Structure 1
Amino acid sequence: MAEGALFGVAKGIIGIAGNLALPEVALIWGVKDEINKLKETVSTIKAVLMDAEAKQHNSEAIKLWLQRLKDAMFDADDLLDEISTEALRQEVITRDKKAKEVRIFFSKSNQLAYGVRMGHKVKEMRERLVAIAADRQFQLEECCEERQARYKARRETHSLSHAEAVIGREDDKEAIIGSLLDPNAKENVSVLAIVGIGGLGKTTLAGLVFRDEEQIKKHFELKVWVCVSDNFDVKIIVEKILEGVTSKKLENLQMDTLVTYLQKEINGKRYLIVLDDVWNEDREKWNELQKILMGGAIGSRILVTTRTEFVAKITQPMQLHVLKGLDKQHAWSLFKKMAFEEGKEPKNESFVKIANDILKKCVGVPLAIRTIGGLLYFKKSEIEWLLFEKNKLSKIRQNESDILPTLMLSYYHLTPHLKQCFAYCSLFPKDYKIDKSSLINMWMAQGFILYEENQCPKDVGDEYFMDLFWRSFFHEVEKDELGNISKFKIHDLMHDLAIQVIGSDCTTINSKVKVIKEKTRHVSFENRLYSSSEIPISLFHTLAGFA
């Protein structure tokens, strides 16, 4: 799977091997012996995995070594799963039999052949891992357990208000509202576009405008929010708008029928439609949608958010609102809230200088400020900050149009179990409203959650979720009646990051991707192109361990 997952897989192999080696598990002695040897080999490799994964980004040799090791580890995990499953099956089969002597791993007719075959397979697997480990031509540190312990000791209750604050966008909000309510606009329906690089907060800003109670709600008769993302399908967008207006799901309707229904609902009414995260560069598709929406009353508006000015100009907007990074004052205000306890900057001037030098690398992008600040919150000393700046941050290529390298830093600093939990989220579609409880159950099913005997795995999974949330990997949360987070989304850029780090290990099958690669381990299916971002979980399947 993704970087960081190998450590978890190694732990899983050691755990399964340990269970199979227990006296009460009736295995042929030769198989048990080989499993014990495999466990020892994996334990030795596990000790250097975290260091190898941290160094792979500067070494092609380490990256290739990890790829070979990943393939072998997954095969070993599958092999032990097969043996464990068969052991459990035989235990269930023989539980009701009177003759206790038949309670063995295999039936008398095939136990020897099967046992010999499994013994050979485990031995070959161990030899394969030994060969890969011996191939290592670089120095790695055996310090992973210490790092995990230090991280766990520093996990604190990071105020939720830090993650939810919106800073420095009041002027932008008022400027956009002023344009939307402009009484001098001549067209019945006109377009306003918010343009800016990923992570600047275009969606957040559009949301502030959309939810405005004093001006926007009073002015527009209808308000609809549609997340468009990569697939600009006119029919799907019409379905989503109609669903937003009627609060009803409309499925399996022809395009002509949808258009008729929509125009009946919006024609003659002053509406505001937000089309969020538009990537469409096809002018004809835009013209087709625009014709459908032209029946609104005077003052109707379409608010578009996009990362590129080219896309914005296709919509022929009455105005472009180019969103910039936060100014120095607001950037520092947000950074303080994320990086320091209670948002209080340190009194030490040299510490403040280091913080400001780090902040410059975030180029005023709120998402980068949140993630880097959230990462540094768990580093308490000035020397830790200085080492981070010199050894990690200084290696990032400064590029204001691509903030992913900065976000990747925050990912690199996650512990292995959090890395694999985050990367697994790449299986969900963009803008999907994820049920937190369902996600934790998926993590549990994959064996990602590590817990002690006296711990509840769901509680540990909730800790994992909150750790990622505090670091801004998740956002747009919904809470239940008790104030607990029940649903959430992943920022588009974070979704891009998850896809990047997961590589070919996870694949989503949809209208664009229809081929499953040989080494793919996890597959999700979108049964149809849905009319709502809230796809029923029963229609969104994840196949774990698919290979």
Structure 2
Amino acid sequence: MAAEAALFNTAENIMKSLGSLALQEIGLLWGFKDELIKLGNTVSTIQAVLSDAEEQQATNHAVKDWLGKLKDAVLEADDLLDDFSTQLLRRKVMTPVRIFFSKSNQFVYGLQVGHKIKEVRARLDEIAADRKKFGFTEHPIGILFEHGKREDTHSFIPKEEVIGREDDKKAIIEMLLKSDTEVDVSIIPFVGIGGLGKTTLVQYVYNDEVVQKYFDLRLWACVSDPFNVKTIVAKLIESATKKRPESLEMDPLQTKFRETIGGKRYLLVLDDVWNEDSNKWSALKNLLVGGLRGSKVLITTRSKKVALLTGTILPCFLGGLSQIDSWNLFKKIAFKDGKEPNNPELVKIGKEIVQKCAQVPLAIRSIGSFLYFKNSEDWLYFRNNELYNITQNVNDIFPILKLSYDHLPLHLKQCLAFCRLFPKNYEIEVQLLIQLWIAQGFIHSSASSRRLEDVGREYFMDLFWMSFFQQVEGNEYGDIETCKMNDLIHDLTQSIAGNNCTISDPLLRAHEMSMLFPTTASHMPINDTLISSFTCLRALNLSRSDIQEVPNSVGNLKRLRFLDLSWNEDIKILPNSITKLLNLQTLRLDFCSGLKELPRDTRNLISLRHLALYECRSLTHMPHGLGNLTALQTLTLYSLGKKKSFFTKQKGGLGDLDRLDELSGQLHIKGLEHLRCSPVEALAANLKRKQHLRILKLEWDPCIEAGYDCDKAIADDEQLLDNLQPCVNLKQLIIVGYGGTGLSSWVSFSTNLVSIFIYSCARCQYIPPLNQLPHLKNLSLFDLSLLTYISIDDDNHVSSYPLETLKLEKLPMLKGWRMSEDIKLEHGQHSDLPLFPRLSSLHIIDCPMISKLPVQNTRVRPSSETSLSWGYVQEETTILPYVADYQI
């Protein structure tokens, strides 16, 4: 069971903490090393019997009760050691002047901690003694819970593959394109059991090029349960407009929806419908009129009754895959390189297993992924002793999925079970999920040099490759950013998970809000009373909760490791009591656009690993002392305040970044205009040492020029940019408002750059050569009023650039790619124009001087979203004055 997996993992974390050399040395120094040893012996004893306890709890209520008591005691021990480890970390980062424990109180502190450890150990000893009543068998530690291993992990995101559904796709498209003279809107129900791939197939149709061209508008909403008309309409409006409706009241919603579909032939998908209430369906159906004749509504459901209730035509039933397609899918998943092996006995076993999967794609994928890592003896054992022992009918693949889950290692079981907290069809942010896993203590690393986040990413990829996650979306660098769970997998996690934690509001997607509370919690505004009821929380998610003020009592949540306050635009300040949360690992404040400052004692959050401040545009400065947070990996925004006499005391400078060498992902440094008088301070940031940074945004406020000597401002900005040279691992560089005449030469040597964006740099006249950047795919230049040529290199040979997207906008002086072309032409020489063999998108607007931009051996056409009256291509030169948007 997932609960016992979590219990074992917590116990294992305790053993690792107790085994740390620093903890043992401090325990000896302060007089409680013996208590630590005794606690370790007790936890080790408990670990050894958890396997038998897990097996017996299903039929023995006394064992189940024993495990519940044990879990509470183990969590208490884990929290106690976390607190102690946090204090050790604080002691480590304090300066010699501020010794964490003075000699006068070290002895007192040692007595207090020793007493607490003794109390926890006594409680665990009492619970552990009861194990003898149940006759548990003690298993050797380390063999009991062997972690599964993959041969390797990948960042590659495979496209959703649809095998054996081409005929189904053609049939659905024919129905969608068929003219219907009897009704304005045809409603087509699409029925099939869970796991057949209804959603995947409909997505396949929805994104078909012919379908996209035929319909003026496409809308998609996942319905699930409960059936709420307001929620569904809001989702459809967001799907069509890409914006959330401002109001969730029914009257403005229905008005906006009718405006959206009015006069258009639309395709509307209602995915995963369960509602069998005709009144609720009629309320929604009445809103679907108003589009042009030929509009279609496609409904997916597992229920025949729903299909008969909703459809204007007879339901379409999706069957299982054919035997051939089932085998082809299994081969692709279960065998190396997707090829059938030479071993005929293994092929025979595989086909028998496929037969048991009832031609259901999800079951085939799930079992095939599991068997990929097994040898032929394991296949034989699985077929004879597990697969044939399950009872299953043709419309129920749940037992098959349960088998796949049962074979997960315990560390993956608990991570998967945790995902039941998200509502069905919720788009899960992978980074957030990993941070929550860490907050719950699910992730641990055998090597101290390995980041828990990297281990968590491997856990996620393992579950993804075993088909427990689907519908993944990635970024341009190949990393998965979001995913979803299949409904059946979600049902599986609900059935096997314990009841220690659920999300109180099932309409998370509609309200964009969740609170990770015990099941006794009810959905209510955050206040002191509510906070006082849940002091044991490890994670609290108040994203999009429309709160205006965070209560001071939040500082009482001493066990809190994860706090999400994102998308609460009315929050202007945070209570300083938050800085008492010494175990806090993640603080998410993304899109808190009204937030003006962080708590002054933020430096006390010594365990903080992630401080997310994306789009906190009102943040005026950073608090002094963030350099103490040496575990920090995420710091999306660093805002520099105006320098005054108290600058170093109350406001943080770039020197606070010096020790933060674990920073990763994105870093946005804002307010660089305040350093024009002291550009040398930028060296203190030591960005070259930040080996994990991937995106760097450097921003000056171009409107702040008063009081600056122009020549000095240019020189200072150029020195600032020189001193902010990042590590060579950087993938994306964004520069905004820079006041120098040219970019630093280090840009040319950042050989891993994939994207460069330069905006609103009024004095910038040149950009360093870009032909040394072999991975550069995207270049965007906007509002550079003095730029005449993009590149100043004078190479005599033809350069080839790997660019895929080129955007040029508001460049009034731009003449061409590089100056050497014009020089040659003026002297009657042939101009060897650079090549862009991979260019797929070209956007040029408000560039009146441009006369030459090479796109050799390509054909330029207007994009489907832009109406152009002219623009043409010559053999080597494209002349595109005032051209809006072009795609290759």
Name the TM-score class by shorter chain.
0.7 to 0.9
Alignment of 1:347-496 (within 5 A): 347-380=342-375, 382-451=376-445, 452-496=447-491
Q: 8 Å contact 2:472–2:483 — kept in the other structure?
A: yes
Shift of 1:173: 1.2
Structure 2 counterpart of 1:501: 496
Shift of 1:204: 0.4
Q: What are the superposed Cα offsets for residues 441-499 of structure 1, whole Å, 9 maximum, x if unpaired?
A: 23233332222123233222221111111101111111211222222222222222222
CA distance in 1, matches of 2:207, 2:170: 13
Q: What are the superposed Cα offsets for residues 303-339 of structure 1, whole Å, 9 maximum, x if unpaired?
A: 1111111122221341311111112111111111111
Structure 2 counterpart of 1:34: 35
Alignment of 1:65-84 (within 5 A): 66-84=67-85
CA distance in 1, matches of 2:293, 2:390: 49
The change in CA–CA distance for 1:93 and 1:75 in structure 2 (over 3 A counts) is farther
Structure 2 counterpart of 1:533: none
The change in CA–CA distance for 1:24 and 1:74 in structure 2 (over 3 A counts) is closer
Q: What are the superposed Cα offsets for residues 381-440 of structure 1, whole Å, 9 maximum, x if unpaired?
A: x21111112332223221333322211222221222212222222222222222222222
The secondary structure found in structure 2 opposite 1:378 is coil
CA distance in 1, matches of 2:100, 2:339: 71
The change in CA–CA distance for 1:433 and 1:342 in structure 2 (over 3 A counts) is same
Structure 2 counterpart of 1:96: 98
Shift of 1:265: 2.2
Q: What are the superposed Cα offsets for residues 146-179 of structure 1, whole Å, 9 maximum, x if unpaired?
A: 8636x33x53458968784211111111111122
Structure 1 counterpart of 2:566: 538
Q: Which amino acid aligns with 2:221?
A: V
Structure 1 counterpart of 2:197: 201
Q: Which amino acid aligns with 1:24?
A: I
Q: Which amino acid aligns with 1:244?
A: S
The secondary structure found in structure 1 opposite 2:194 is coil
Alignment of 1:519-534 (within 5 A): none
Q: Which amino acid aligns with 1:38?
A: L
Q: Which amino acid aligns with 2:388?
A: S
Shift of 1:28: 4.9
The change in CA–CA distance for 1:301 and 1:522 in structure 2 (over 3 A counts) is farther
Q: Which amino acid aligns with 1:302?
A: V
Q: 8 Å contact 1:65–1:136 — kept in the other structure?
A: no
Q: Which structure has the bigger radius of gyration?
A: 2
Q: 8 Å contact 1:14–1:42 — kept in the other structure?
A: yes
Higher mean displacement: 90-99 or 458-467: 90-99
Alignment of 1:144-293 (within 5 A): 144-145=142-143, 148=146, 151-152=148-149, 154-156=150-152, 164-184=160-180, 186-214=182-210, 216-293=211-288
When normalised by structure 2's length, the TM-score is 0.55
Q: Which has the higher contact order (CA 8 A, sep 6+)?
A: 1
Shift of 1:351: 1.9
Shift of 1:302: 0.7
State the percentage of identical aligned residues.
Answer: 45
Structure 1 counterpart of 2:310: 315
Shift of 1:511: 5.9
CA distance in 1, matches of 2:69, 2:115: 24
Q: 8 Å contact 2:196–2:362 — kept in the other structure?
A: yes
The change in CA–CA distance for 1:186 and 1:27 in structure 2 (over 3 A counts) is farther
Shift of 1:142: 3.1
Q: Which amino acid aligns with 2:481?
A: S
Choose the corresponding residue for 1:341, options 311, 331, 336.
336
Q: 8 Å contact 1:190–1:301 — kept in the other structure?
A: yes
List gaps (5 residues or longer) in structure 2.
508-513, 521-533, 547-563, 569-580, 585-888
Shift of 1:345: 2.3
CA distance in 1, matches of 2:213, 2:278: 33
The change in CA–CA distance for 1:358 and 1:143 in structure 2 (over 3 A counts) is farther
> What number of residue pairs does the alignment pair up?
529
Higher mean displacement: 73-82 or 395-404: 73-82
CA distance in 2, matches of 1:354, 1:319: 40
Shift of 1:62: 6.4
Q: Which amino acid aligns with 1:23?
A: E
Higher mean displacement: 164-173 or 73-82: 73-82
CA distance in 1, matches of 2:471, 2:44: 40
Shift of 1:72: 3.6
Q: 8 Å contact 1:90–1:104 — kept in the other structure?
A: no
CA distance in 1, matches of 2:101, 2:241: 67
CA distance in 1, matches of 2:295, 2:159: 34
**Over aligned residues, Cα RMSD in angstroms?**
3.4
Q: 8 Å contact 2:4–2:50 — kept in the other structure?
A: no
Shift of 1:25: 4.6
